[in-house]
Amino acid sequence: MATPTPEKLLEFIKEKNVKWVDLQFMDIPGYIQHITIPSYTLREEDFTDGIGKLDGSSIKGFKSIFESDMRMFPDPNTCAILPWTDNTPHRTLRLICDLYDAFGGPRFTRDPRYIAQKAEEAVKKAGFDFSYWGPELEFFVFDSFKLLPSFSTARDAWSGTGYEIQSKEAPWSQTSGINHPIRFKEGYYPAPPQDTLVDLRNEITGQLYDYFNIICDAHHHEVATAGQCEIDMKYDTLTKMADNVLTYKNVVKNVAYNMKMVATFMPKPIFGDNASGMHIHQSLWKGMNGKSRNTFYDPDDEYAEISQTCRYYIGGLMEHSRALCAITSPTTNSYKRLVPGYEAPVYIAWSKRNRSASIRVPVYEKGKEAPKRIEFRPPDTSCNIYYAFAALTAAGLDGIKKKMDPGNPCDENIYHLTAERRREMGIKECPGSLQEALNELESDRKFLESIFPKDAIDMWIELKSEEYKQNSIRPTPFEFYQYFDI
């Protein structure tokens, strides 16, 4: 429905016989959280006074137990019927919420959506009107996934010492196969019957448009075997696109579940094959109401038709790339993706067309202002999308403010350059582990403070450092393979 007032939304709920309202938000690590209330309890004043239903001490990184009460303010612009509840007795309306401290308190400073909104304010303060964002989400869909747990302690009962993945597309498939398995690293654009997930992607794309008004440009099988997919959304403004990513991940998981499969946005579930990334396209614009101008475009630039503003923005991303990885590639599993040999952007450089560089300027068309943008390639789908967009904005604006020169573009296959040649060209590498990335963030965090509150950065480093520690102290299946007979 069109942008509704709270009054119109309540009328819509009655008219469509909506039984439940699902109040959603994203926690700090990037998981979707929700609480469901009966539709008849939603009042018009809830949109201005908030709903006191949130215990912040039970959400990772939010509040201590002595200050746990929080309020949720539904955003009527995010209303949508959840498609898997439509045509059922439990039709449910989704609303994404802004989070506030209780007792008339202000916005919760670590609320990811609030930080994304602050990033949009920073764009305006820097002299622009808005930014466009186009993330390319990749994910895997398996027929089944089993975690083989260790019962050494009650606390670790489900921490896992092994796992089993089944996919009818995979060379190792033990399910009723298709007799056309997709070989490792040969999954890009195969037609059915090898591509078994066309119907699933059609259903996801249809639900995104029909229920959430999210336009998708295309969908296809990705490079890896065993059900790697990509569905590309049309670009949108910063917070709106972050909301769309939250919605996208929720729809993907629920469609897969209802088709008796399982979807994951874990970057690297399969060793020896390509991982799932999330290349993020971005641009800065001036002007509103149909008279906007892409500040990244300069038709007189012979190299890639990019402006000096765009070059400075690239310079900011390059300057802060290693720290950015702690937010855009924020899991231990992320760094199993960021290794040479799997098309992952390991090297910090920029170029047009060149997918071995971490920052690419797409040049599909010449003389076109609207599509001119840059693509930041290190991120993956395990990130908190609100934090990721905000961090990239902070880095790019810092580059513009300080006129950071990105240096010369690298129009060579960086994967084939020797280490000595890369040093000569000043090409650095992305961090090799989450801990290394967090160390970089700790030493290079000032640029974020124009958007992120200090306590948000502190909490991020604390949570992610604990994640790294918990992963580093547990035995893995490969350690058993490598060391059991020592």
* Tokens read off for 313: 């923005």
- Please give the Cα distance from 53 to 36 (Å, whole number): 10
Any catalytic annotation for residue 138?
Answer: yes
E strand or H helix that includes residue 319: helix 308-319
pTM score: 0.95
Any catalytic annotation for residue 120?
Answer: no
Q: Give the residue-averaged pLDDT of 157-183.
A: 75
Q: Which of 49, 55, 424, 466 is an active site residue?
A: 55
Lowest-confidence region among 50-54, 137-141, 387-391: 50-54
Q: Which of 91, 107, 219, 355 is an active site residue?
A: 355
Q: Give the residue-averaged pLDDT of 221-248.
A: 96
61/34: higher pLDDT: 34
- Please give the Cα distance from 140 to 187 (Å, whole number): 12
Q: Is the pLDDT of residue 392 over 60?
A: yes
Q: 130-483, what's its fold?
A: Creatine Kinase; Chain A, domain 2 (3.30.590)
Any catalytic annotation for residue 136?
Answer: yes
pLDDT of residue 190: 85
Residue spans of beta strands (DSSP E) within 114-168: 130-142, 144-148, 162-166
Any catalytic annotation for residue 377?
Answer: yes
CB 221 within 8 A of CB 228: yes
Query: pLDDT per residue over 403-427, tens digit each?
Result: 999 999 999 999 999 999 999 999 9
What is the length of the chain? 486
Residue 98 CA: distances (Å) to CA of 23, 111, 113, 211: 10, 7, 7, 21
pLDDT of residue 154: 55
Tell me the pLDDT band of 327, cut-offs 50, 70 and 90: very high
pLDDT of residue 260: 97
Tell me the pLDDT band of 178, cut-offs 50, 70 and 90: low
The overall average pLDDT reported for the chain is 92
Any catalytic annotation for residue 305?
Answer: no
Q: Is the pLDDT of residue 317 over 80?
A: yes
Q: 6-108, what's its fold?
A: Ubiquitin-like (UB roll) (3.10.20)
Decide whether 6-108 matches 130-483 in CATH topology: no
CB 201 within 8 A of CB 181: no
Any catalytic annotation for residue 121?
Answer: no
Any catalytic annotation for residue 293?
Answer: no
Q: Is the pLDDT of residue 218 over 80?
A: yes
Q: Is the pLDDT of residue 259 over 60?
A: yes
Any catalytic annotation for residue 375?
Answer: yes
Q: Which of 375, 380, 398, 440 is an active site residue?
A: 375
Q: Give the residue-averaged pLDDT of 65-92.
A: 91
> What's the gap between Cα 326 and its chain centre?
13
- Please give the Cα distance from 43 to 71 (Å, whole number): 14
Query: pLDDT per residue over 329-386, tens digit each?
Result: 999 999 999 987 767 899 999 999 888 999 999 998 899 999 999 999 999 999 999 9
For residues 335-354, one letter each, b for 16 or more C-beta atoms within 10 angstroms of the residue's C-beta and e for the rest, the string is bbbbeeebbbbbbbbbbbeb
Any catalytic annotation for residue 412?
Answer: no
- Please give the Cα distance from 106 to 109 (Å, whole number): 8
Domain spans of the chain, in order of start: 6-108, 130-483
Instruction: Name the percent of the chain lying above pLDDT 90.
Output: 77
pLDDT of residue 405: 97
Query: pLDDT per residue over 101-129, tens digit each?
Result: 887 788 999 999 999 999 999 999 999 99
pLDDT of residue 191: 84
